[in-house]
Structure 1
């Protein structure tokens, strides 16, 4: 397997090169050079299999010969050591609970696989690699935990000060050790811009190995393909046996890495017809799907804060996937529907599902649920929504919307008692550069 840049001006890369490089040298993002779909029999054989077996089958294809089966199997067993159940929350609507990992968010899955892959590729004696990551809520804690205490790595998490919940923040600001939490006086888009500037700084990269753990890194993206197949593999036989055209997946979308992984899964043979790009008020992509004009803008703060992204970097990968053919936009519209919802609609959905079904949604999953319902009402069928975060990470939002306070899992109870260690910087690249230079000492 080799990987090419979305901008098309960089040499193709191996998996190890792409993981260690992060963005491609031309500023683009790496994507698989080609994807060969699994045979129908191979897909059918995944039905009812454990998550790690499904991940191994897909990982062999996505990672190629650089990681042997003998290495990959225990790596995946160690990384994916928590349940990822599919729950029916109402007739025709299933919820894939991706929040049972150590930081209670879907990003645990990819971050834990990526950390182990990077550790396998980083040679002994190499200078310490700094993993630089920007977070709008959940990425930072997932990456920090995945690399915490891992020899040869130092982690720098950039987050917008005051714009992530206390529960989200404490999961990475209390780790210490090789993890540095950096509060930026700005938005997530500002944090992402600072990180991009660092990766484009040749002087900085000559001084230190630098790795990205945001979804701009292909290593974060590929493992997310696994759980789309895992969701389908858990559907009841009566649902899995219906026409492919009647199955829809709704993905709560902010930076669009998760949806990109779903579209890669579809290219690999995932038996679904369409995806829903479900967003909050930061509706750049749904607007593009309606108008054909992509207009990034400053992000707007919402109660589904991890999706508050006004300039989603991974959409470049989606555009690249659909760049062939006579009418790429029409092809994308056939596979993806865009829906956006404001905070009142999100709160109403959280309350409605809890009162009718006794199932508690966080705000991000509620946006995904609304998008799925809109698509099913328009076209019919059966759908899966990805539950991307545990409701207890958003106590205030859940209490306001539903009127109850979700019980805190042990991970949140533990982090609430620990001391936070935070460095605050202005939204200026010079401040980040000085901080990274200091971390090298």
Structure 2
């Protein structure tokens, strides 16, 4: 597998180099040199395969000879060892539950796969791998659990002070061992900017072997395609061959993965980009003007991104056909009040408790179905377990939020985090002093 930078299409690196370097020095993002289309035989018979079988087939076609088939299969079966069911709420409305992994969020797919890929490539005696990750909520917890105890690796998680839920913060700050947490006095965009600047800082790169666990890393994006194929396989089993996906979107890695799956042949009718008040992409889809702006805090905190990194990948996928992009993707954005109303409506209609991100995806799907009068079945992505957001629920809904045992165990642990400002020199100084 060869990859190029979105800022330099003539460059070429191996999959291993892209995984470890994470972001090119030219500040682009890595993209596959070629995206294989999966065979019609496979696509038409998806309903005959399990999730790990689908994941292996997709990954093997993308990665190719970079990892021998038996090794790749072992990685897949170890990393993707939980399920992701679609649950029927009504005839043409299904929810894809992606929160059944260890950190109770969809990012377990990417973090577990990536940690095992890095561990596979990391040879004995090599320089320690320093993983930097910015999180707006769920990425950090998934990465922490994915890398916890992995030899010769150290993870530094940056999260915005006061802008993640209590449970999310516990998942970031109570691990110890090779995981450390930095509480940044700023927004997620500030955290992300610090990580990106670190990758282009000569002194840090000379001293440390830096990589990222954010969705800027191609090893995070590839496994997120798996659950789109698997969701479609489950829809086929229920006689549904035309589907649209409604994707709660912040940094746009999730939607980027769906579009990568589409490029590989997954027959999706439409993607819906569902955002909160951070509506940079929905506004672009309406006006044709892409204008990043500072992020604002919302109930759906994991989507509080004003300048989504992965949009450059999506733009790159459609660089020769911008009109196709706007035809394939429909954007919707919602306020906190509309999000709260959606949470209540889902519960009233189905007795189903949805996290705020999930509620936004449901609302966008319902609005799209009303606007488009489309015959396709809608699948909206549930990206996190509702127990992570206890403060957003009231009354009967709050009473029906189940708290898994692994969350209860977290509450007895002490927080371990270092407070920093959002200036790069302070962050760099911390890294240099804490080797």
Task: Provide the TM-score with structure 2 as the length reference.
Answer: 0.97
Name the residue aligned to 2:174.
Answer: 174
Name the residue aligned to 2:371.
Answer: 378
CA contact (8 A) 1:38 1:268 kept: yes
> Of 394, 414, 428, which residue of structure 1 is paired with 2:423?
428
Name the residue aligned to 1:129.
Answer: 129
CA contact (8 A) 1:302 1:308 kept: yes
Deviation above 6 Å: which 4+ runs of structure 1?
none
1:294 aligns with 2:290: yes
1:5 aligns with 2:1: no
The CA deviation at 1:439 is: 2.7
Name the residue aligned to 1:333.
Answer: 326
1:360 aligns with 2:356: no
The CA deviation at 1:373 is: 1.1
> Of 365, 382, 397, which residue of structure 1 is paired with 2:392?
397
Deviations for 1:361-406, whole angstroms, at most 9, x for unmatched residues?
1000001111111111122221101110000000111237934351
CA contact (8 A) 2:79 2:109 kept: yes
The CA deviation at 1:331 is: 1.1
Q: C-alpha separation between the residues in 1 aligned to 2:269 and 2:24?
A: 31
The CA deviation at 1:217 is: 0.6
Name the residue aligned to 2:61.
Answer: 61
1:322 aligns with 2:318: yes
User: Which consecutive unaligned segments of at least 5 residues does structure 1 have?
Assistant: none
> Of 301, 304, 315, which residue of structure 2 is paired with 1:305?
301
1:269 aligns with 2:281: no
The CA deviation at 1:239 is: 3.5
Name the residue aligned to 1:160.
Answer: 160
CA contact (8 A) 1:254 1:308 kept: yes
The CA deviation at 1:271 is: 1.5
The CA deviation at 1:31 is: 0.8
Deviations for 1:63-100, whole angstroms, at most 9, x for unmatched residues?
11111111011111111111211111222111111001
Q: C-alpha separation between the residues in 1 aligned to 2:125 and 2:14?
A: 21
Q: C-alpha separation between the residues in 2 aligned to 1:134 and 1:383?
A: 31
Q: Give 3-state SS (helix, strand or coil) of 2:170's partner.
A: helix
Greater mean alpha carbon deviation, residues 87-96 or residues 176-185: 87-96
The CA deviation at 1:172 is: 1.8
The CA RMSD over aligned residues, in Å, is 1.3
Q: 1:400 to 1:337 in 2, by over 3 A?
A: farther
Q: Give 3-state SS (helix, strand or coil) of 1:103's partner.
A: coil
Q: C-alpha separation between the residues in 2 aligned to 1:76 and 1:401?
A: 40
> Of 341, 344, 349, which residue of structure 1 is paired with 2:337?
344
Q: Give 3-state SS (helix, strand or coil) of 1:13's partner.
A: strand
The CA deviation at 1:348 is: 0.9
Q: 1:10 to 1:202 in 2, by over 3 A?
A: farther
CA contact (8 A) 2:25 2:199 kept: no
* Number of aligned residues: 433
Deviations for 1:241-281, whole angstroms, at most 9, x for unmatched residues?
4xx4xx21011000000000000000101111110000000
The CA deviation at 1:220 is: 0.6
The CA deviation at 1:13 is: 1.1
Name the residue aligned to 1:388.
Answer: 383
Q: C-alpha separation between the residues in 1 aligned to 2:284 and 2:397?
A: 33
CA contact (8 A) 1:365 1:386 kept: yes
CA contact (8 A) 2:5 2:31 kept: yes
Name the residue aligned to 1:83.
Answer: 83
Deviations for 1:178-224, whole angstroms, at most 9, x for unmatched residues?
11110000000000011111011011101110010000111111110
Q: Give 3-state SS (helix, strand or coil) of 2:268's partner.
A: coil
The CA deviation at 1:51 is: 0.6
Name the residue aligned to 1:230.
Answer: 230
Greater mean alpha carbon deviation, residues 33-42 or residues 217-226: 33-42
